Chains A and B, each alone.
Chain A
Amino acid sequence: MSRISTSFEKLKSEGRKALIPYVTAGDPAPSVTVGLLHGLVEAGADIIELGVPFSDPMADGPVIQLACERALQHNTRLLDVLDMVAEFRKQDTVTPIVLMGYLNPIEIIGYKRFADEAKKAGVDGVLTVDLPPEESDNFNQIMRAHGIDTIYLIAPTTEDERIKYICENGSGYLYYVSVKGVTGSASLNVQEVADKLEDIRQYTDIPLGVGFGIKDADSAKAVSAVADGVIVGSVLVNKIADLVKEHGQIAPQVSAIIKDMRIAMDS
């Protein structure tokens, strides 16, 4: 069983929900990232989404755009991100890591080479924002052959027939984008999310994570009541942005946000 499935199984048996923080690798500097990941796990993160910086993050709002720019100032490339994962794995062989980003960096080094290197580094899943299942036959095959989960998005605009199709292609978990918009946009409506998740569950047993619009412990708790996982990004990245001049403060302060959410979700 993959690390991602193991993680969800364990949580389920404990009656808890997954807390999944997102941070951009190399933001604000490559030296910060691995320590931050360990801090997040210590604070209660179950799975980590690690953003691969891209020059043109079309689906992201200003917060994550700026994170990409900061990381790219240090020339954080996909292969550097894999090195960070390998470094993380020296101490943590349990927490799943999902790479989240855009297709071009993967396309340029080639799917096969990417899968080889990602597996070697200890990556568990990939979420490629601009690669819908329609375009990913070959990609899926290669990732599956390497035991890497392919995580797909479902949006409020996704109709039932497509939900079914996406469920057939996804593995690990499915990422429900709770609002129409870019990352870091408006707050979500928990009832609407609950309705949509119920709809999706008709078609699949794959765990459902919910992201976009989760801003604090209260919204994390509310969403965890209806979803299998809670994905948090922009609030964390915003905190990092506040601390670009105090690298030593990043891991403790960002982890503190996660810790609050963990406590709220488990209570």
Chain B
Amino acid sequence: MPTNIDLKALAQLPDSKGHFGPYGGRFVSETLMAALKQLEETYEKLWRDPAFQEEFDRDLAHYVGRPSPLYHASHLSDKVGGAQIYLKREDLNHTGAHKINNTIGQALLAKFTGKPRVIAETGAGQHGVATATVAARLGLECKVYMGAEDVQRQSLNVYRMKLLGAEVIAVESGTRTLKDAMNEAMRDWVTNVDDTFYIIGTAAGPHPYPKLVRDFQCVIGREARQQCLTQIGRLPDALVACVGGGSNAIGLFHPFIEDADVKMFGVEAGGYGIQTGQHAAPLSAGSPGVLHGNRTYLMSDDAGQIIGTHSVSAGLDYPGVGPEHSYLKDIGRAVYVDATDDEAMDAFRALTRIEGIMPAIESSHAVAYAMKLAKEMDKDQTIVVNLSGRGDKDIHTVAQIDGINI
């Protein structure tokens, strides 16, 4: 990491307009500007309100099941031979992923602002399920937009959402994946802005979403930091998290930003390999542009059209990334790498067989890179991997790869 970065200032971002250096901001059509300003004001007020904090913390403890454990994967560490790998067990959260931390927070905002209807976009369906879950609990009407291709690969989650009372809309436009679901959710919001709260599922989108999603997800990093101090007696040497839009990664990273000795690695979806062009790795192989309300690294062609992505994991199959990651990359505070489909699947199998923990395919990307990284490190060093979700939703995909029909 370059030594001239003012880490204290970095941790204070975004600025008042939602900028992380040149990234972030608010690039939306005029109809949404008032709603975003209102959201920003509501959020800034409530986030400092002890009553809101208390309710948020209580829900995280008793509904989500926090704190999630920090588990020393000693068998995997021994097998890899190198640094000690610790898993931050977000897979043990209610509904099976980190996504619920954010939906609890945003649903509370919806409740405090009196909006009776929530909408969401979803890729893997984890955010959709987490949104449908909190909507059920708070009695909010809920509509989830999901790319038609993802509806197929994540059919289990589609049914879960329906059981929870949400309406799931299969989006047929464009590439029929997460980005198109987000387009459609934005269109819904523009049309129903008066009574609808848009629960964005990742740390991207127009200001203040990247900030508030990060703040809600920071519980991951705060707990992990404290758990490291208690269980290991010091801070870890490296953090590893998968990056789709970047919410589980920023949630883990942010509370460590000022700890200059803690390295951070974000793992993007390498798909069939970066060199094939068939991947979802904007930070590794894209360039800055504007999509979905923020300026950030994107996968677009030389005419500025967004290009199709590929990843075995629906949750990482997105051509953009949260703006804070773009900035952390540029200034060198975090490093972004990739893991291919095959590497992720190998890691999925390894963790399942060696530790008896079946990770989400998204999270398997982080595990894959952590195993590589651990090999190059000493036995007395530690890596914290964000195990962002569990693999139950992916059994069909894995079986399909094995040629088995369930």
Q: Which residues of A contact B (CB under 8 A)?
A: 54-62, 65, 69, 72, 75, 77-79, 102-109, 129-132, 134-135, 152-159, 162, 166, 177, 180-182, 185
Q: How far is the CB of B203 from chain A (nearest CB, A)?
A: 19
Interface pair B304/A78, CB less than 8 Å apart? yes
* A residues in contact with B298, CB < 8 Å: 104
Write 6 A-B pairs (CB below 8 A) sorted by A numbering.
Answer: A59-B186, A107-B289, A108-B289, A134-B26, A155-B31, A177-B29
Question: Could you list 16 further interchain pairs (A-B, Cβ under 8 angstroms) beyond the known A56-B180, A135-B25, A153-B30?
Answer: A55-B306, A57-B183, A59-B190, A69-B173, A77-B304, A79-B303, A104-B300, A105-B304, A107-B289, A132-B26, A134-B25, A157-B34, A166-B30, A177-B29, A177-B31, A181-B190
Q: How far is the CB of A60 from chain B (nearest CB, A)?
A: 8
Interface pair B191/A130, CB less than 8 Å apart? no
Q: How far is the CB of A252 from chain B (nearest CB, A)?
A: 30
B305 within 8 A of A: yes
Residues of B273-329 at the interface with A, using a CB-CB cut-off of 8 Å, are 287-293, 295, 298, 300, 302-307
Most buried by B among A56, A75, A157: A56
| Bound-state Cα–Cα, A158 to B30, Å | 7
Q: How far is the CB of A188 from chain B (nearest CB, A)?
A: 14
* A residues in contact with B287, CB < 8 Å: 108
Interface pair B27/A103, CB less than 8 Å apart? yes
Interface pair B30/A159, CB less than 8 Å apart? no
Q: How far is the CB of B103 from chain A (nearest CB, A)?
A: 22
* B residues in contact with A58, CB < 8 Å: 28-29, 183, 186-187, 292
* A residues in contact with B1, CB < 8 Å: none
B137 within 8 A of A: no
Partner among A55, A79, A154 whose Cβ is within 8 Å of the Cβ of B30: A154
Interface pair B30/A132, CB less than 8 Å apart? yes
| Bound-state Cα–Cα, A80 to B179, Å | 26
5 closest Cβ pairs, A-B complex: A105-B304, A108-B304, A77-B303, A153-B30, A155-B31
| Bound-state Cα–Cα, A54 to B304, Å | 8
| Bound-state Cα–Cα, A182 to B31, Å | 10
Interface pair A130/B304, CB less than 8 Å apart? no
| Bound-state Cα–Cα, A188 to B245, Å | 37
B174 within 8 A of A: yes
Name the interface size band of chain B. Answer: 35 or more
Interface pair B191/A181, CB less than 8 Å apart? yes
Identify whether the interface residues of B are mostly helix, strand, loop, or mixed: mixed
Interface pair B303/A78, CB less than 8 Å apart? yes
Question: Across the two chains, which residue of chain A brings its CB closest to B307?
Answer: A55
* A residues in contact with B292, CB < 8 Å: 56, 58
Known: A104-B304, A130-B290, A180-B191. A157 touches B35 (CB 8 A): yes
* A residues in contact with B291, CB < 8 Å: 56, 104
Q: How far is the CB of B33 from chain A (nearest CB, A)?
A: 6
Partner among B17, B32, B191, B290 whose Cβ is within 8 Å of the Cβ of A134: B17
* B residues in contact with A54, CB < 8 Å: 304-305
Interface pair A131/B27, CB less than 8 Å apart? yes
Q: How far is the CB of B199 from chain A (nearest CB, A)?
A: 17
* A residues in contact with B355, CB < 8 Å: none
Known: A56-B291, A182-B190. A157 touches B304 (CB 8 A): no
Q: How far is the CB of B260 from chain A (nearest CB, A)?
A: 32
B156 within 8 A of A: no
* B residues in contact with A62, CB < 8 Å: 173
B193 within 8 A of A: yes
Known: A61-B187, A104-B300, A107-B304. A157 touches B27 (CB 8 A): no
B259 within 8 A of A: no
* B residues in contact with A77, CB < 8 Å: 303-305
* A residues in contact with B302, CB < 8 Å: 108
Interface pair B306/A104, CB less than 8 Å apart? yes
Most buried by B among A62, A109, A132: A132
B330 within 8 A of A: no
Q: How far is the CB of A56 from chain B (nearest CB, A)?
A: 5
Q: How far is the CB of A156 from chain B (nearest CB, A)?
A: 7
Most buried by B among A57, A78, A105, A159: A105
Q: How far is the CB of B301 from chain A (nearest CB, A)?
A: 8
* B residues in contact with A65, CB < 8 Å: 173
| Bound-state Cα–Cα, A195 to B174, Å | 38
| Bound-state Cα–Cα, A36 to B379, Å | 71
| Chain B 177-202 interface 0/1 with A at a Cβ cutoff of 8 Å (1 = within) | 00110010011001111100000000
* B residues in contact with A108, CB < 8 Å: 287, 289, 300, 302-304
